[in-house]
Every structure is written in structure tokens, then in C-alpha cells.
Amino acid sequence: MSKQHIYRSGWAIVTLMFMVTGVGCGVIPSTVTVNQPTASALPSASPVPSPASVETTPTTAPVSGANVLYQDDFTDPVTGWPEDKFDNYFIGYHEPEYYHIEITSPNYKSTVFEPKKQSFGDVTLELQVLTVSKKTAETGDFRYGLAFRRSGDQYYAFTISPRTKKWYVLKNSPNALTVLAEGTEDSIHDLDTDDALRVDAQGANFFFHINDHLVGQVTDAEYAKGEVGFYVETLDATNAHIHFDTLVIRNFEAPPPQEEAAAMLYQDDFRLLVIFAMVWLSVVQAINIMPLPFLRAPRNGMCLKVLLMS
């Protein structure tokens, strides 16, 4: 009996070990599934683009009118303007509503152009832009504004200097930067306040406005069309931080006639003065050569003679 009991006990132990082992093996796949999900556990494909695809494919901001070709208020980075940092300048979006360019050395210039590299010819360009005083050197000059009709290293630029209240129309080529026109405009604001720049470009004729004042006109036919963007240049300032607020590109709109007249500060062809002088000389000559009858026999000849001599 003892041997049979031992024999049965042995089989019971073996059976129990087999059951425990079987249950334990059944737990292992569930643990692996949690730590290493299968393909079916991955989220299904979504039609919404990933952040990487958004950065590589700029999205044009909706335009606000039929006459508007492009606009951006820089509140959404998906519009795709470049963001990068270099040795002496950096560019990118500045939340909540700006695109900024900062240059950190004197005598340096930088340009950034619309992400899709569209080419524009006859257009009206409008830009709201300001300087951030806290990130700009306290002394030194700099200028910034719109760049347009760019192809390679060729482009025009309309810039302002808030410290000197001067404006410049520049022409850049692979070999030189030329000033086509310049002047002074008292309406240019100090730092930290937006200025409104506008360029009306039609063929070889350009009209330039600052804060709704027509300040200048230039004719140059060399660059017929090209990209639109921003221009920043430090002259002797060691640092300049510029915020670009809103950019709008529209079909060309001619400046109102009164604005053209306002650009002329003074004009006189002296035509009236010449006519008056000719009439006066004719009267004097007529008196000296052929005196009128009533002048020949005045009641007081002496007084009349003195009057005529004077």
C-alpha cells in the first residue's frame, strides 16, 4: 500500500506541475502584447498632416478680397516662412503675431522671401513693421522694409530708418547695392510702434508711401518681376531686432491723384510774375512815349510830374 500511495502521489505532483507550467506559459503573450503592441494596436492613418509635413509644405493664409494675391499676419507658423539661426542673425516666427529678423553685428544685411517663391510684377505691396527697442542696440543706425522683384541676388528694396527718419529706395545686384532715391519723412515712428510701408509697382514706375504719405517716385526698368519679402540691414548698429506684422500683396492700385500732388512740396513757374512785369513795362513805356491827353494839362503839373518820375 505504501508503494502504491507513493506512486499515486508522484503522479499527482507531476500533474500539478504540468498544470502550473501551462497556466504560467499562458500569461507570457499578454505581457509581450502590452510592451510591444502588434500592428493592429497602432493608430489608424489620419488625413491630418503631421508636423513634419506641415513644415515642408507651406500653407497660404486665406486672402481677404478678390484683389488680394497674398497675405500673412504671421499668427500661424504653417504658412511656412523659414526659421533658422546663423552666426550673426536669426529668423523665425515670434508669437503671437510677428515674424522677426534679428542681426547681431554691424554692417550686415539679410533678406527673407515669401515661402512659395511666387513671382510678382505689377502689384501693390503693404507692410506693417516695427523695431523692438529692448532687443536693439541703444546707438547706431539700421534700416529695414520691403524687398521686391527678387531673382537671385537682384532685387529692389524700400527701407526706413526710425532713428534718422530717413527712407531709401535700394537696388541690389550681384556686385553692388545702389541707392536709387532717398529722403526724410517726419511721420516715421520711433521704436516699438508700427510703420505702414506701401509700394505701388507698375512696369518701370514705382511709388513709395510711408504712413499714407507719398514720399517718392522712381523709374527703373531692369528688374521686371520677382519674389517679395523682407530686408534688414545694420549700418553702424551692433544689433537690430525687427518685427514684421502684416504683409499684403494686391493687384496694382494707382496712388490717388491727391497723393501725387502731396508729394510736391513747392512749385512755381513764375508765369504770373512775368506777365505782370510785361504789363507794367508796357504801361510805363506808353506813359513815357505817348502821354494821355488829360496828363498833359493837369491842374497841378508839379505833382503830376513828381508822380510820373516816381
Same domain, 133 and 253: yes
Same domain, 168 and 289: no
pLDDT in tens, 23-56: 343 433 333 333 333 333 333 333 333 333 334 4
- Structure-model confidence comparison of residues 302 and 199, the more confident one: 199
pTM: 0.66
Residue 69 predicted with pLDDT over 50: yes
Same domain, 252 and 281: no
Confidence of residue 16 (pLDDT cuts 50, 70, 90): very low
* pLDDT value of position 21: 41
Residue 1 lies in a domain: no
Asked whether 165 and 186 are in contact (CB, 8 A), the reply is yes
Residue 71 lies in a domain: yes
* pLDDT value of position 266: 56
* pLDDT value of position 60: 61
Same domain, 293 and 176: no
Which helix (H) or strand (E) segment is 167 a member of?
Answer: strand 166-172
Mean pLDDT for all residues in the chain: 78
pLDDT in tens, 230-285: 999 999 999 999 999 999 999 999 987 754 444 555 566 666 665 666 766 676 56
Confidence of residue 65 (pLDDT cuts 50, 70, 90): confident
What's the rounded Cα separation, in Å, for the pair 1 and 6?
A: 9
CA dihedral angle for residue 33, residue 34, residue 40, residue 46, rounded to 10 degrees: -160
* pLDDT value of position 307: 43
Residue 21 lies in a domain: no
Residue 166 lies in a domain: yes
- Structure-model confidence comparison of residues 148 and 15, the more confident one: 148
Question: Region 186-197: what's the mean pLDDT?
Answer: 98
Number of domains in the chain: 2
Residue 135 lies in a domain: yes
Residue 52 lies in a domain: no
- Structure-model confidence comparison of residues 46 and 182, the more confident one: 182
Residue 214 predicted with pLDDT over 50: yes
Same domain, 280 and 185: no
What's the rounded Cα separation, in Å, for the pair 30 and 43?
A: 19
Residue 37 lies in a domain: no
Same domain, 185 and 282: no
- The CATH number covering residue 172 comes to 2.60.120.560
Domain of 300 in residue numbering reads as: 271-309
Asked whether 275 and 127 are in contact (CB, 8 A), the reply is no
